[in-house]
Amino acid sequence: MHSEFEMSMIGELNFFLGLKQLKKGTFINQTKYIRDLLKRFNMEEAKTMKTPTSSSIELDKDEKGKSIDSTMYRGVIGSLL
């Protein structure tokens, strides 16, 4: 490859596509992905919660509520799946 492309050695690769290689083993790390996701949807200052809503609560439409961007909501949910 050196004969076809200009290359330089910048050090040993230890993190690639969410995989981190350490002496102890290989680990899946999604911290950067989550930080990028929060930045993408302007949620960097959002407060964390263990469970955002009760699983037994019955939801109904809030007629007086502020409308939301459904495209953004779908994007957030799709990014988490």
Please, are residues 15 and 21 in contact by the beta-carbon 8 Å criterion? yes
pTM summary value: 0.48
Please check the confidence at residue 17 and state whether its pLDDT lies above 80: no
Instruction: Tell me the pLDDT tens digit for each residue of 34-56.
Output: 889 999 999 899 888 777 667 78
Please, are residues 45 and 52 in contact by the beta-carbon 8 Å criterion? no
The residue extents of the domains of the chain are: 25-43+69-81
Please, are residues 29 and 18 in contact by the beta-carbon 8 Å criterion? yes
